[in-house]
């Protein structure tokens, strides 16, 4: 939680849009997979300057006597942009 507190305290604006959400509950465990789409403002509060990215996330929750609690969170960046040209065989950098 400290890492989340540090992130939120030092970010003037951050917004999450969740897409591709799927949830499964089995007994006292639940898993939620989704794409986390993040939009944040520039550190110097420049008007109209935003940065964004996406991450594929998996969250596992455990039901306790106090209710559902986040047990594990993992996210990996989703890369965007053009794919490398697959028509040319990779020569391993040899000239």
In a domain, 92, yes or no: no
Looking at the whole model, is its pTM more than 0.75? no
Which CATH number characterizes residue 23's domain? 3.10.450.50
In a domain, 95, yes or no: no
Q: What is the pLDDT of residue 81?
A: 72
Q: What is the mean pLDDT of residues 31-38?
A: 96
Q: What is the pLDDT of residue 95?
A: 55
How many Cα neighbours within 13 Å face the side chain of 54?
12
In a domain, 37, yes or no: yes
**For the segment 35-88, what is each residue's pLDDT rounded down to a tens digit?**
999 888 866 666 667 778 899 999 999 999 999 999 999 999 998 777 666 666
In a domain, 84, yes or no: no
Does pLDDT of 22 surpass 90? yes
In a domain, 88, yes or no: no
In terms of phi and psi (left: phi > 0; alpha: psi -120 to 50; beta: otherwise), the region of 45 is left
- Which range marks the domain in which residue 33 is found? 2-77
In a domain, 91, yes or no: no
CA distance 34 to 23: 9
In a domain, 68, yes or no: yes
């Amino acid at each position: 939680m400290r890492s989340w507190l540090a992130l939120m305290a030092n970010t003037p604006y951050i917004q999450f849009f969740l897409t591709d959400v799927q949830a499964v509950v089995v007994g006292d465990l639940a898993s939620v997979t989704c794409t986390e789409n993040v939009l944040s403002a520039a550190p110097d509060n420049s008007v109209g300057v935003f940065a964004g990215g996406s991450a594929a996330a998996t969250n596992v929750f455990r039901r306790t006597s106090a209710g559902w609690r986040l047990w594990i969170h993992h996210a990996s960046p989703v890369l965007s942009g053009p794919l490398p040209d697959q028509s040319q065989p990779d020569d391993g950098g040899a000239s």
